[in-house]
Chain A
Amino acid sequence: MLRPENFIYRPKDTVIHRLDPRSKFYYAFLMLVLAILTIDFNLLLLLLLFTLFPILLGKILKQVLKAIQSSLFFLALIFIINFIFSLNVILALALVIRFLILIISFLAFSLTTSIDDIALSFYKLRFPYDFVLALTLAYRFIPTLFKDAVNIVDAQRSRGLETQKGNLIKRVKNFMPVIIPLLVVAIRRALNVAEAMESRCFGASKRPTNYYELKIKFGDILLFVASTILFIIVLAEILGLVKIAIV
């Protein structure tokens, strides 16, 4: 099962956590582009190797492994389908690795960057304040919503609701006692938040000030340069200008 805990930021004090969200995003984005551009097994393996640095430095290996574990099914599916259609083990494996790179580089960003930092980056990029705030709130309520869902399922099961047995129609029907309270709770909370925000003068200013500021540090420049170099090299290889061999 996909558990949101595996995908959610937790504060930690590491080099990676302290980096500017923009440089981390730049890194994750380049990895993503490269992984999509190439289908070469060697190159993908190299990229996979590179995705490991931020994971180890950011001390999020455990969470990443759990996330990979919960996507094992997809990985297996990718492998099987591609193998059936191409009968090529290397190609099927390459596609699995590509998917892994996508997951890992996304996690390297999302697990080490607080939503406040992400929102602040958007804000600095001149996105409207409303948009930035909506983003923050949506993200913030994922764990809350998950807790609500657990409590609702618990409450209904305690009243004898059967969620595991029965045919499809019955299961969908049995889902209503969970879905309805979940929606109601979410809507109620949204309305409460809106009221609470308005009573604290939300909307009075189009571009309110920030408590935190983003600062580009040495580490950011390093990451920026390193990922750019990696990008250029891999791009060169893809275009056939240089040759890299690992396996």
Chain B
Amino acid sequence: MIEFKEVYFKYPFEDTYALKNINIRISKGECVFIMGSNGAGKTTLIKHINGILKPTKGEVWVNGKNTKNFTVAELSKIVGIVFQNPDHQIFASSVYEEVAFALRNFKFDEKYIENKVNETLKFFSLEKYKEASPLFLSGGEKKRVTIASVVCYEPEILVLDEPTVGLDLKQRKNLVNLINELKKMNKTIIVVTHDIDFAIELANRVIIMNEGEVLKEGSISDIIYDEETLRKANLIQPIIPQVVTKLKLSISSKKIITIEDFLTNLEIILKNVKT
């Protein structure tokens, strides 16, 4: 379980707080999406989960551990974070070595590492690059390498910062499948994204951030029908809620999220259109 208790955070030499009064609880097995405009503080927030950043005021607790009292290495074994920019971590001479890096640091034995890396590479369709230099892969391939390099050590909590950027449709579906698998294994998953359709597919809960504060917290349907919050967070309202809102139904429309929902409820919808 992750808990933020009245967390304030200020970067050194900055005058304003990058995080203000953050109170969040994330239970084991939840899949939580964090969204919000550029500079809202999403990356700053997730860097608190494995103790890279420590709160200026307040506390962050991860599985009953106050992050203040543990090193990043200790917390990282529980919390795997995949960062926004693959270029900020790729360094090894081969894709294999890159993926094995964390496993080596956490001192798994070589046999286990070999199996695990091969399995992970296969899952991300990266086997053919096993011996290739990761530096010269395409953007989406690099992204996959970085996700693979964290997923492979099976952290209990997985944090992904903008994981869908640069992925094509097939790889995106692959990622959705992976996250669904992990959800089944009761892993906690936190995703930072601007991609609301991705959230619709996976989120148990959505946290919207704005200017370092939590603007709104709720289910995906709470969010996609809240035009004001979406506007503040610079998110586009998906097409189905847009249509449903325009129709001005006389019944509650919150259950209608996807095209499938729309079609199965078409009869009810048409009956309840206000004229």
Which A residues are within 8 Å of any B CB, using their own CB?
3, 5, 148, 151-152, 154-162, 176-178, 180-181, 184-185, 188
Contacts and interface: CB of A to CB of B under 8 A. Distances in A.
Contact of A157 (B12, B76, B92, B135): B76
B83 A188 contact: no
B149 interface: yes
Interface string B76-99: 110111010101111110000000
B85 A151 contact: yes
Contacts of B12: 3, 5
A244 to B, nearest CB: 39
A184 B93 CA distance: 13
Given A161-B105, A177-B89, 20 more contacts: A148-B88, A151-B88, A155-B83, A155-B89, A156-B89, A157-B52, A157-B76, A158-B50, A158-B52, A158-B76, A158-B81, A159-B102, A160-B101, A162-B73, A176-B91, A180-B91, A181-B89, A181-B91, A184-B87, A184-B135
Question: 7 closest pairs, A vs B, by CB?
Answer: A160-B105, A180-B91, A159-B102, A155-B89, A157-B72, A158-B81, A151-B88
A160 B91 CA distance: 15
A176 B89 CA distance: 11
Interface residues of B, number: 27
Contacts of B92: 177
Q: Which of A5, A151, A185 has the most CB of B within 10 A?
A: A151
A64 B52 CA distance: 28
Nearest to B90: A181
Contacts, number: 71
B106 interface: yes
Q: Which of A159, A161, A176, A177 has the most CB of B within 10 A?
A: A159
Nearest to A177: B91
Contact of A160 (B13, B77, B83, B88): B77
B105 A159 contact: yes
Contacts of B76: 157-160
Contact of A154 (B13, B83, B105, B150): B83
A178 B91 CA distance: 8
Contacts of B50: 158
Contact of A155 (B13, B73, B88, B135): B88
A176 B12 CA distance: 26
A188 B87 contact: yes
Contacts of B248: none
A9 to B, nearest CB: 14
Q: Which of A3, A158, A160, A177 has the most CB of B within 10 A?
A: A158
Contact of A158 (B13, B83, B90, B135): B83
B102 A160 contact: yes
Contacts of A184: 87, 90-91, 135
Nearest to A149: B88
A159 B149 contact: yes
Interface string B122-149: 0000000000000100000000000001
A17 to B, nearest CB: 18
A156 B85 CA distance: 12
Contacts of B149: 159
A185 B52 contact: no
Nearest to B106: A160
